[in-house]
């Protein structure tokens, strides 16, 4: 299906988030940490946009900016054609119902002093969706059942559940408001393989049932590839490549993507793949950047890379890449 036929649910333009770091010395100018620089992406209705990158690449910041947990420094986020950055509080509250989030750590993202039932009811209380108590707990139970939990779980506290079950509660909570878009911030990375598969299947089922749109953030490329329709690869606060899930494996373009792919552990003991080694470590996001962020580590770095910042450009088939090699 060509992309232009699909409805854009969220339009992100030049999103930038900077954190000020207080300097250690008195009277010194505060330094600026560029967590997210100039990120532009369209999110289509009903799709799963995967976001992958190493720790510190800004993928979590991106998710948090979308749900308004962080105030973006610059740029715009349009939801269904309406600008949501800088929106008034009560208007925003209505839109917040549509954009929910599932957090990474199932152990800390649930209030330890509330039972599963109460936790799922809470969003309904906050937005006054169902005011009748009985009806509300009925609905909470329904939601718990949709995510694969049962009546016996309603009165249990979070610490009495396993990691996978807690993540199910998190999902039920997000679903309680009938959202259209869910930002999933590493929802399966704290889970075991067999449980991870269950939760990934659950995400897929729910997407089909409720026509959900996901922004799925993870550091695990095989998980991202499995769940996503399109994948954005982030490096040091920027999207360096954006393409279909298929082409990331079949036809990776950016040198960083290639290196990332080659670093993934093999799928069998007989799979001996060649490693593309990136020398050194990720540079610090503090301070100003000149040139391509990968320049120092890249094997095919040119003179131009050290001076100019490559922009994310479409190669015609929806495959976008930010690298001078492809210009």
Partner 1 sequence: MAKQNKAAETAVLGAEAHSLLVKRERRANNVWNKLRRNKTAMVGLVIVVFMIIMAVFAPIIATHDPNAIKPSETYLGFGENGHIFGTDEFGRDLFSRIVYGARVSLIAAIGGTIVGGIIGILLGLIAGYAGGIADAVVMRLMDGMLAFPFVLLAIILMTILGSGLQNVILAIGIGNVPTFARVVRGQVHIVKNEEYCNAGRVIGISNARMLFCHILPNTISPIIVYATLNVAGAIISEATLSFLGLGISQPTASWGNILRAGRDCLNTAPHIATVSGVFILVTVLGFNLFGDGVRDVLDPKMKR
Partner 2 sequence: MSDNLLTVKNLKTYFFTASGVSKAVDGVSFALNKGETMGIVGESGSGKSVTASSIIRLLPKIGKIVEGEINFEGRQILDLNKKELLNFRGKDIAVIFQDPMTSLDPVFKIGSQMVEMICAHQDVSKEEARKMAVEALKKVGIPQPEKRMDSYPYELSGGMCQRVIIAMAVCCKPKMIIADEPTTALDVTVQAQVLELLQELQDEMDTSILLITHNLGVVWKMCDTVMVMYAGKTVEYARSERLYEKPLHPYTWGLLDSMPKLSDTVKGELKAIPGVPPDLRLTGQCCNFYNRCPYATEICSKEVPPLLEVEEGHFVACHRQNQQEKLVRGEVNANE
Interface with partner 1 (CB under 8 A): 67-69, 93, 96-97, 100-101, 103-105, 108-113, 122-123, 125-127, 150, 152, 156, 160, 170, 173, 177
The binder of 263, among partner 1, partner 2, none, by C-beta within 5 to 8 A per type, is partner 2
Applying CB under 8 A, the residues found at the interface with partner 2 are 54-55, 162-165, 192-198, 200-201, 204, 219, 221-223, 225-227, 245-246, 249, 259-271, 275, 277-278, 281
Q: What does the buried/exposed string (b/e) look like for 246-268 if buried means 16 or more CB atoms within 10 Å of the residue's CB?
A: ebbeeebbbbbbbbbeeeeeeee
The binder of 131, among partner 2, partner 1, none, by C-beta within 5 to 8 A per type, is none
Q: Please give the angle made by the CA atoms of 230, 39 and 187, to the nearest 5 degrees.
A: 50
Region of residue 148 (left: phi > 0; alpha: psi -120 to 50; beta: else)? left
**21: which 2 tokens?**
């770091």
Residue 184 phi, psi (nearest 5): -105, 110
Sign of dihedral through CA atoms 205, 10, 254, 18? negative
**238: which 2 tokens?**
């920027």
Question: Please, which residue, 23 or 222, has the CB nearer to partner 2?
Answer: 222
Question: Please, which residue, 40 or 198, has the CB nearer to partner 2?
Answer: 198
Question: Please, which residue, 71 or 162, has the CB nearer to partner 2?
Answer: 162
The binder of 286, among partner 2, partner 1, none, by C-beta within 5 to 8 A per type, is none
Question: Please, which residue, 79 or 235, has the CB nearer to partner 2?
Answer: 235
- Which residues does 200 contact at the CB level (< 8 Å), separation at least 6? 188, 223, 226, 227
| Residue 140: CB minimum distance to partner 1, A | 14
Question: Please, which residue, 5 or 270, has the CB nearer to partner 2?
Answer: 270
């Amino acid at each position: 299906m060509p992309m232009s036929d699909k409805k854009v649910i969220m339009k992100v333009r030049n999103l930038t988030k900077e954190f000020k770091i207080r300097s250690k010395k008195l009277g010194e100018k505060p330094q600026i940490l560029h967590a997210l620089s100039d990120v532009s992406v369209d999110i289509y209705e009903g799709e799963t946009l995967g976001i992958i990158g190493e720790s510190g690449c800004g993928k979590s910041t991106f998710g948090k900016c979308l749900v308004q947990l962080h105030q973006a420094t610059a740029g715009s986020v349009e939801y269904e054609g309406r600008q949501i950055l800088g929106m008034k509080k009560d208007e925003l509250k209505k839109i917040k119902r549509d954009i929910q989030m599932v957090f990474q750590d199932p152990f800390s993202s649930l209030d330890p002093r509330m039972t599963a039932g109460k936790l799922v009811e809470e969003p309904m209380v906050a937005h006054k969706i169902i005011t009748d108590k009985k009806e509300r707990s009925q609905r909470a139970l329904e939601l718990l059942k949709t995510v694969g939990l049962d009546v016996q779980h309603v009165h249990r506290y979070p610490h009495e559940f396993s990691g996978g079950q807690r993540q199910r509660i998190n999902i039920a909570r997000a679903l309680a408001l009938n959202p259209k878009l869910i930002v999933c911030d590493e929802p399966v990375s704290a889970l075991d393989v067999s449980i991870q598969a269950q939760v990934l299947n659950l995400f897929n089922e729910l997407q089909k049932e409720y026509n959900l749109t996901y922004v799925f953030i993870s550091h695990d490329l095989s998980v991202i590839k499995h769940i996503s329709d399109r994948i954005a690869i982030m490096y040091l606060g920027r999207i360096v490549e954006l393409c279909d899930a298929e082409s990331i494996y079949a036809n990776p373009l950016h040198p960083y993507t290639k290196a990332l792919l080659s670093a993934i552990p093999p799928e069998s003991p007989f799979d001996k793949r060649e490693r593309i080694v990136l020398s050194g470590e990720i540079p610090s996001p503090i301070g100003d950047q000149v040139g391509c962020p990968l320049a120092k580590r890249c094997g095919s770095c040119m003179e131009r890379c050290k001076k100019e910042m490559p922009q994310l450009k479409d190669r015609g088939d929806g495959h976008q890449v930010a690298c001078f090699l492809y210009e």
